Amino acid sequence: MKSLFLKIVIVLVVFFLVGKSAVSAGPDWVGWRGESRDGTVAGREWPRDLGEAKLVRKWRVTLAEGYPGPIVSGDRVFTVETQNKENEVVRAFHRDTGKQLWERGWSGSMKVPFFAAKNGSWVRSTPATDGRLLFVGGMREVLVALDVETGKVRWRFDFGAKLKSDLPSFGFVCSPLVDEGSVYVQAGGGICKLDAVSGDLLWHTPGGGGGMSGGAFSSPILASISGSKQLIVQGRDELKGLNPQSGSVLWHQPVKAFRGMNIVTPVPYGDSFFTTTYGGRSILWGIEEAEGGYGVEQSWVNKLQGYMCTPVVVDDHAYFHLKSQRAACVDLRSGEIRWVSDQRFGKYWSLVAQGDRLLALDERGDLILFKANPEAFEMIDRRKVSEEETWGHLTVVDGEIYIRELNGLSAWRWNGETHISLHKQ
């Protein structure tokens, strides 16, 4: 009898541990705007509201200032910060408890121009991971690869030193893109592809800076055009499609913006790309394969000016946050402005979607849940989740929400346990 009881206990313990491990190692958020880099969230279905019974904070840790969004791989959450205005520090936390697992830092900060310095000169680039290595862009255009498990530096690439390029006034802003054993970044006065394991430079295509002080604010994506895989990048004054194998430019299109503030990541829509700029317009660029190459055509243009919020597409409509601090919806088929909200919000939104609902993190620390409704702005719920500014991109993965506050990182769970813990580092 005791033997049978012991076997049952062992089975239950194993089941519990396996189940716990499965939860901890659920879907990942591997870089800028998630797995597919488009802000869409798969996995566990979101609850219908943001009430205290539905959305519960699990833990919070204190950090130094930084703009990068958190990313998730396996049982770990990674963040980047600027400590004492001098050192850039990467930290790994346990996804379930918030316990710090390791940290790694280096000297690498810089001061940005006066019109941006009022919001801080902290590190900006959201890191990326392939599950084994973590790729972190430092402000002085140094890309560092760290071991996910230990934080050990595997390699570092100094673009300025190796490519003899000038340091852009705003530093390394773009978020690395990892694909099939390679890392793509907009740095070194152009676009670069590196081997993810060795850090060797595979190719460098000059150009893509422009604007007042060089560098790029946007981040690269991969997309299919007429069945062909292309690397799409937006610099300070131009949108480009490149061959990801060779780095050759397949097509390019000037994009007007005030002071080169092309900040939004290009949004694919069929064989087209949607851009929206500060001081410019919202435009859909159609890309067509032509004899000997590709052609670019303006499909439509409207007066809306985006700023820093990369749009999310739901059922042929783009939803985003404007320079005017209002939300907007545009029909991507025609360019028709379906609505602009009467209500003003903060200076910045990061935005994700699941099905017919969108979740925005306002720079003022508010989570906003609203319907993907092309007829009108339809808010479902709103909740204060931080007393600090929240510039880092929202991370939502498997029923968990990670929020980068100006001086902290908090983990929340929809339909989760009611336990709240606080770890001060």
Is the CB of residue 73 less than 8 Å from the CB of residue 148? yes
- The full 3-state SS of 230-241, as one line of letters, equals EEEEECCCEEEE
Torsion sign over Cα 126, 129, 134, 135: negative
From the candidate CATH numbers 3.90.650.10, 1.20.1260.10, 2.115.10.20, 2.40.10.480, the one assigned to the domain spanning 35-63+347-425: 2.40.10.480
pLDDT digits 0-9 by tens, 243-283: 999 999 999 999 998 888 889 999 999 999 999 999 999 99
For the chain, list residues with pLDDT below 50.
1-2, 4-25, 211-212, 417-425
Q: What local confidence, expressed as pLDDT, does residue 115 receive?
A: 66
Strand order, beta sheet including 312-314 = 312-314, 317-321, 326-331, 337-344
Residues listed for the chain: 425
Q: What local confidence, expressed as pLDDT, does residue 254 receive?
A: 94
Q: What local confidence, expressed as pLDDT, does residue 258 receive?
A: 86
Q: What local confidence, expressed as pLDDT, does residue 216 receive?
A: 85
Q: What local confidence, expressed as pLDDT, does residue 261 receive?
A: 83
Q: What local confidence, expressed as pLDDT, does residue 8 receive?
A: 39
Q: What local confidence, expressed as pLDDT, does residue 169 receive?
A: 86
Query: Beta strand pairing status for 421-423 and 55-62?
Result: parallel
Q: What local confidence, expressed as pLDDT, does residue 209 receive?
A: 55
Q: What local confidence, expressed as pLDDT, does residue 112 receive?
A: 85
Query: Beta strand pairing status for 177-179 and 182-187?
Result: antiparallel
Domain ranges for the chain, please list them: 35-63+347-425
Cα distances from 275 to residues 7, 254, 278, 405, in angstroms, run 61, 11, 10, 27
